Structure 1
């Protein structure tokens, strides 16, 4: 387990400082390898989740039941020695069940705030689209601003804070569509898919006895993860790369009813910074942008043409927009 250096803040508090970019690359490799002990045959998806966490983003996993969405989220959370909480979204779940509520204390004769499960470092929102939009929207402020406002008082969420949500894709009559504003707050939307026969056979061999998640141990701690995220935030993004991302986003706006928002462009750059860091670089290349765009952009796009889906629009933009 890697320890992060720390630096002083006003008031004497200690907070982790950035670490070397090579240490970030090593950390990412350790995390991916640890999660791969549990999740078989989805190395690319694991890497995408790790880059999202390092890039200060949130992840939405959508697929059929039983392919490992929840287990992937649990394995990521277990790999980092930090607080983990889980919200099982159901139709009767209320916003206060997620954010917390003020409870009257009979002894002190005062109201005390009881924090909800959103006050965790890694929050698993299981089957988030089973809850109605009002409850889903309870995460909007938390995901964008890292804080929760309840009964007129705003409280900061712990650092780091990452939401990994799963979405049921097979029962449209029993689920609710996520508000577009909430979708836009997820850095990435991923689909795992079924494993190939060899990977599934390996998975069966690992899980017929005790499940490997039961013996999984952490490979890093909260302070080191914060330091790694600080390092990723310092990865250089030169003006030509920023302009390239701007042109990509603009192209989606020209060819869709709703194109990628500026928030989406920021998410792509942060994902590209993380991609560069795990490659051991302190600068972003257009290749980093091109690798991340297919999982960062599509869920932010809405089309009116049934023959043109969001993935195709992004793929066309990557082919059409030149790197200058």
Structure 2
């Protein structure tokens, strides 16, 4: 039976994958809605690819459930509306990009016209007749994303789609994903390009050692680890750091590249400035320091310790 939530494209509940005594994914609850771009982040081996492989039926979960497009994950009905690129692209090396897509279109009962459309969308029309083995890694990624586009699916599952792409290719992929959002498609995106994720994704989930440690918009994740604080340009930063550390509201004060970074609620900026000026220091600039997604990510994956038994990290599953 299909999942009753019409707006829910991916739903997992307690999803777990174990390999003997090792755990790749543990008790994962995800909810991804129609039309959103969801960033799935984590260090290498955290469980991202394992999760994506369970969603498309490449591996079976040990326990828990997952539905995709309203049907159990990995079933024929769920896969009809899914285009996926998971881990490294693997196509016929001796065939051209165009011929590879033609073969895949035949398997999926897709009209031949979709091949040319997919090549155009990923910017590979000019190189479509080159053998796949002669492509650079970035070109292979583009052809693989073209394969995911063939069925014109409602859901795209993309595992590191910008891997190997030059800056122009990354920008092209960003435009493509934005186009998918505008057409009310859903994208589950795993990427190490944190700046791209910050600008592309409606919501973000962070997985660490198989566990989901955060889920929400980038703004919500920022609030979850506290405000960024303030940055101060001052004539004697080391002395300034010693002074502001005495303020009760200040969590820390460090000097980085000659600039004072104060971990404090930005509403306390006036108090920081007043203290420094009263003590004879010359403040030339004071500005709010906004946390980036990269700041949030490293705080979550390096500092947060999930409660309960810690699963063993599994690499390259």
Q: TM-score range by the shorter chain?
A: 0.3 to 0.5
TM-score between both structures, scaled by the size of structure 1: 0.32
Max Rg structure: 2
Higher share of residues assigned strand:
2
TM-score between both structures, scaled by the size of structure 2: 0.33
If asked which structure has higher relative contact order (CA below 8 Å, sep 6+), I would say 1
